[in-house]
Chains A and B, each alone.
Chain A
Amino acid sequence: MNEHASPNGNGSSRAPLLQLRGICRSFGHVRAVHEVDVDLQRNEILGIVGDNGAGKSTLMKIIAGTVSPDSGRILMNGEPVEITTAQDSRRLGIEMIYQDLALFDNLDVAANVFIGREPTRGLPSLLGFLERRRMHREAAALLERLNIMIGSTRLPVGVLSGGQRQMVAIARAVAFEENNHILLMDEPSAALGATESATVTELIRDIRGDGLSIMIISHRIPEVLDLADRVMVMKRGEHVATLDARSTSVEECVNLIVAGAPAATGQA
């Protein structure tokens, strides 16, 4: 039942969309991530579960370029890629939704969606004139396409509810579809109530149809099993197992999270 990540097929078009090989990262004496291999297939939702401090967030930040690994390789479509900054990962079509959402409460919804990639006219770069009307029009169209209910794209994000903020963060992450689009989500529903959480889950299911591959960290194991195709279990920085979400159970996941191995008393 436990299958470790398969060996990589170099350069072949059959190679997984994203591969991590032997990723290590320590903070002082703490091995946050140790010799981790991961494969993410096209159009797949990969859940990542594990206790606090299991290395889930660090692993995700390494892919997003905000934490650099001590060693290990990252491959996209079988080709090695260099991700040392957040700019690098964005350029490769990787978007991360942080646990704190990384939203600007003082900016309106449209500016939050477009931040860093605003359409401009006239002078180049920083002195370019913002095409505000276009930003509002396109942001509104995006929200409508994703079925996100927010009164106006002119509202500052600070006045929105938790669920609406979460959805603005998701909208921003999927606003610019590129090749190999990968979405990384760290606890997308941690701070949400039941109804809002269900809405966000629904949204994640919806955007998956748009050809996205998603890695999702969550403490809510039933939710992960419901949403993901495969579930990766981490413990103390190591990749313990990868399970098929359809055939595993909450108990099996919990056992692996706690014990780092299938329960001895079980039928494993």
Chain B
Amino acid sequence: MTAVVPEDPTTEMSGWPQRLRDLVFSGKLTWVTLGAVIVAEFVIFSIAAPRFLSTTNLLNTGRATAVLMIVATGATFGLISGALDISGASVMALSGTIGTQIVIAGYPASLAILAAIASGFGAGLVNGFVVVKLRVNPLVATLGMLGIALGLAFIVDGGSGIAGNLRQTTDGAYGVMKNDLVGIPLPLVFAVLFAAAGWVLLAKTRFGLYAYAVGGNASAGRSVALPVDRLRMMYLVFSGACAATGGWVLSSTLGGSGAASVPGTLILTVVTAVILGGVGLMGGTGTMGGTILGVIVLGVLENGMTLAGWPTFYQYVVEGLLLLLAVGLEAVRTGGYR
């Protein structure tokens, strides 16, 4: 740190060149870009839809985006560790359906919530096993789980796709997310705390550092005696548990849910948010801060477009374009797919 050799490009610089370089290396440039996009969204939507800037609408946006935030937190860990987990939306459906049916069957809400989240652990364990033991590409492994979990959700709710007897699940602890906390929707409060915990876990702990290590260079991980396979499995289990938690929050907000309560395109939104936030497709890069901003970009976009009177199917097109844009920019930066 003390040795300064001016002609060496990797020595310490001072002033703005150093700050600019730190900005690029730390991934904070993504944050600046996304911040600008969010500001632009606010300007455009507040002009296009006068109701957009009302407190009620912003809180509604927060409520509607909370689930995306929770699932994206798990997907961030998964993708940084090198596994693109696309089973999230199906795992959410399974989790919400299991929780709902347990409440309808008359068991306590605590058991229903535990079982709902446990289903995500189970799905993550299976994903992890297939990836680590059978050496299947994570995208394909979780594609299998996408089908399995959704099918299981339909089996659990008797093939109806809906919650069934709604009244029982609306009341009591299972439906707690319908409430507000000092005027703020509880799902929003929960999602903010969840994302903050995810941030700390990723940026400050060994668990977070090893996600970057395993995703950056798995064979180096083995060389320095990291338990690479066990870690990879853990990140997929974590991702599954986050998705299941999101599934319960959605189910709770709706007062019970069935297999069809989770829009299948939600996984498009999750993956778009995470990649927009700067998590590289090849693993090893990205931050929770980026994911949070990516989630806000998409949450505001959905709400604003709806208020401005754009039908949902246009939103899909815009989201898909955004995903391609984010991936395209990453490809330019890293040299791309070969």
Listed in ascending order, the chain A residues whose CB lies under 8 Å from chain B are 66, 85-87, 90, 96, 98, 100-107, 111, 115-116, 118, 120, 123, 125-130, 140, 143-144, 149-156, 159-161, 164, 172
Contact partner of B207 (CB less than 8 A), chosen from A102, A126, A144, A150, is A126
What residues on B are CB-neighbors of A156 within 8 Å?
Answer: 25
Contact partner of A149 (CB less than 8 A), chosen from B8, B9, B25, B217, is B8
B55 lies within 8 A of chain A by Cβ: no
* Cα A216 to Cα B22 with chains together (Å): 37
Shortest Cβ distance from A128 into B: residue: B206
What residues on A are CB-neighbors of B69 within 8 Å?
Answer: none
* Cα A129 to Cα B202 with chains together (Å): 10
Give the contacts of B1-18 with A (CB-CB under 8 A).
Answer: 1-5, 8-13
What residues on B are CB-neighbors of A96 within 8 Å?
Answer: 223
> How many Å from the CB of B234 to the closest CB on chain A?
8
Known contacts A66-B223, A90-B225; is A155 also within 8 Å of B206 by CB?
Answer: no
Please tell me if the beta carbons of A98 and B204 are within 8 angstroms of each other in the complex.
no
Mind listing 25 A-B residue pairs with CB under 8 Å?
Answer: A86-B222, A86-B224, A87-B225, A101-B220, A102-B217, A102-B223, A104-B213, A107-B213, A115-B209, A115-B224, A115-B226, A120-B205, A126-B205, A127-B205, A127-B207, A130-B205, A140-B1, A140-B2, A144-B2, A149-B8, A150-B10, A151-B1, A152-B1, A152-B11, A152-B12
Listed in ascending order, the chain B residues whose CB lies under 8 Å from chain A are 1-5, 8-13, 22, 25, 201, 204-207, 209-210, 212-213, 215-217, 219-226, 234, 284-285
Please tell me if the beta carbons of A126 and B210 are within 8 angstroms of each other in the complex.
yes
What residues on B are CB-neighbors of A144 within 8 Å?
Answer: 1-3
> How many Å from the CB of B41 to the closest CB on chain A?
30
Please tell me if the beta carbons of A143 and B204 are within 8 angstroms of each other in the complex.
no
What residues on B are CB-neighbors of A140 within 8 Å?
Answer: 1-2
Please tell me if the beta carbons of B206 and A125 are within 8 angstroms of each other in the complex.
yes
What residues on A are CB-neighbors of B226 within 8 Å?
Answer: 115-116
* Cα A96 to Cα B224 with chains together (Å): 9
Residue with the highest number of chain B CB atoms closer than 10 Å, among A98, A103, A126, A140: A126
What residues on A are CB-neighbors of B25 within 8 Å?
Answer: 155-156, 159
What residues on A are CB-neighbors of B13 within 8 Å?
Answer: 151
> How many Å from the CB of B153 to the closest CB on chain A?
31
* Cα A125 to Cα B11 with chains together (Å): 34
> How many Å from the CB of A125 to the closest CB on chain B?
7
* Cα A1 to Cα B263 with chains together (Å): 79
Known contacts A126-B207, A156-B25; is A164 also within 8 Å of B10 by CB?
Answer: yes
Contact partner of B10 (CB less than 8 A), chosen from A85, A123, A128, A151, is A151
What residues on A are CB-neighbors of B216 within 8 Å?
Answer: 104-107
Please tell me if the beta carbons of A102 and B285 are within 8 angstroms of each other in the complex.
no
Shortest Cβ distance from A144 into B: residue: B2
What residues on B are CB-neighbors of A118 within 8 Å?
Answer: 206, 209
> How many Å from the CB of A89 to the closest CB on chain B?
8
What residues on A are CB-neighbors of B212 within 8 Å?
Answer: 104, 106-107
Please tell me if the beta carbons of B223 and A98 are within 8 angstroms of each other in the complex.
yes
